[in-house]
Amino acid sequence: MSARHVLERFFDLQAHGTTIKTEVIAGFTTFMTMAYILVVNPLILKDAGMDFGAVFTATTLSAIIGTLVMAVWAKLPFALAPGMGLNAFFAYGVVVGMGYSWQMALTAVFLEGIIFLLLTACNIREAIINSVPMSLKKAISCGIGLFIAFVGLQNAGIVVSNPSTMVAVGPLTDPKPLLALIGTLITGVLLIKNVRGALLIGIVLSTLVGFPLGVTSLPDFSNGLTPPDISPILFQFQWNQVFTADMAIILFTFLFVDMFDTVGTLVGVSTKANMLNDKGEVPNCKQALFADAVATTAGACLGTSTVTTFVESATGVSEGGRTGLTALVVAGLFLIALFLSPLFLMVPSSATSPALILVGLFMMTPIREIDLDDYSESIPAFLTLLFMPMTYSIAEGIIVGMLSHIVLKLLTGNYQQVSTTTYLVGTVCLAKVVV
């Protein structure tokens, strides 16, 4: 039996309406749009006093572990890596802000992973995902679309901070924004022409255009192909602060943000890919949740912050990725990057920004299925998709959406339309707002 036949049978490609070629292209696209984490995560954790090279290795290994579990067990086209926002809270909130050591922060991440394993085994996390009303599930997809497009605009320098208006248009004639605009046009033309792999081709062509603009640099292999030593941060836990009020706050923040970021990504991207079942549930949801729980636990042991499902997985889904083969390709590319990192890290953020911007458009399609005339459904949905980019947080968007959905149903006498689980999740959301 050939390897091709084994892959087709194991991932059931025909039933999912996909092919090996499509899955491979989707995997490459997802990896290229999230490869920035290989540099950004070590840079952030370096500010917490951790070794840059060691964190690079830990970041890559944790991404491989989580994405492999997602690929072969959950069989879903989602990739995992240490999450943005969570790593910032790790470095600037716990270490710099609260004055604790990075070893204590790693201990909190490890405990978070253990708790997630227990919650997943007891089906609690799956129940939380299934408690999200269908209108909000569709809104989450749209909100993630706006959020990921905003990230793309920000990474390219097209949108910049402004003290008066919060955000403003950046200097578009500068090399980085200019490259992103050129890349968006290139990718747009490829999409209009229905070219397979348009997003990936757009990234490659944009990277090449970046050479004459001075944005792309040749890879530097002067340090060889050996991954950096991970021993300075391996199994570096600190247990003497476990039973403190600060640890409780830190742990609650890690748990809450990661839980709802993962819920948002799984629901939003699955909705876009029409992967939800007749009950509006994510397929193999429990296995998918185990993937990030296992990866977070393993990542803490290796020496990195919380591992979560990456919203950039939407780029691979937009290229047709529908099975775990997409994730398997991503895991394989992370493994290659461990030894050939300069080759992958040469791709500038301005070259991947066009893919993120245009995926934002793709993620907006479920808005057509929201009943905009039923205000008890459309107002919470609108607030959900609005708050995600405005607060730079998927979790905050879900909190606002869930609470407004429950309150509006109660005030209009339609409390019976809200399930018991939804009320319980709403209580947790309210607790997060109060705390």
Residue 1 has a pLDDT of 64
Q: Which range (150-154, 403-407, 409-413) has the least confidence?
A: 150-154
Residue 307 has a pLDDT of 95
Could you tell me the maximum CA-CA distance found in the chain, to the nearest angstrom? 68
Report the amino acid identity of residue 55.
V
Residue 10 has a pLDDT of 94
Q: How many Cα atoms are found within 13 Å in the side-chain-facing hemisphere of 226?
A: 4
**Is pLDDT above 80 for 253?**
no
Question: Given pLDDT bands bounded at 50, 70 and 90, which one contains residue 248?
Answer: confident
Section 210-218 average pLDDT: 94
Q: Decide if 109 contacts 306 (C-beta within 8 A).
A: yes
Which among 132-136, 221-225, 230-234 has the top mean pLDDT? 230-234
Average pLDDT of the chain? 90
Residue 205 has a pLDDT of 95
Q: Which residue has better confidence, 204 or 274?
A: 204
Section 113-136 average pLDDT: 90
Question: Given pLDDT bands bounded at 50, 70 and 90, which one contains residue 84?
Answer: confident
Residue located via tokens 């707002």? 433
Closest of 411, 375, 309, 341 to residue 71, by C-alpha: 309
Closest of 55, 173, 185, 163 to residue 109, by C-alpha: 55
**Is pLDDT above 70 for 343?**
yes
Q: What is the 3-state secondary structure (H, E, C) of the chain?
A: CCHHHHHHHHCCCCCCCCCHHHHHHHHHHHHHHHCCHHHHHHHHHHCCCCCHHHHHHHHHHHHHHHHHHHHHHHCCCCCEEECCCHHHHHHHHHHHHCCCCHHHHHHHHHHHHHHHHHHHHCCHHHHHHHCCCHHHHHHHHHHHHHHHHHHHHHHHCCEEEECCCEEEECCCCCHHHHHHHHHHHHHHHHHHCCCCCHHHHHHHHHHHHHHHHCCCCCCCCCCCCCCCCCHHHCCCCCCCCCCCHHHHHHHHHHHHHHHHHHHHHHHHHHHHCCCCCCCCCCCCHHHHHHHHHHHHHHHHHHCCCCEEECCCHHHHHHCCCCCHHHHHHHHHHHHHHHHHHHHHHCCCHHHHHHHHHHHHHHCCHHHHHCCCCCHHHHHHHHHHHHHHHHHCCHHHHHHHHHHHHHHHHHHCCCHHHCCHHHHHHHHHHHHHHHC
Residue 287 has a pLDDT of 94
Section 377-396 average pLDDT: 91
**Is pLDDT above 70 for 428?**
yes
Domain ranges of the chain: 3-434
Residue 86 has a pLDDT of 82
Residue length, the chain? 435
Residue 151 has a pLDDT of 85
Q: Which range (37-46, 176-185, 367-376) has the least confidence?
A: 37-46
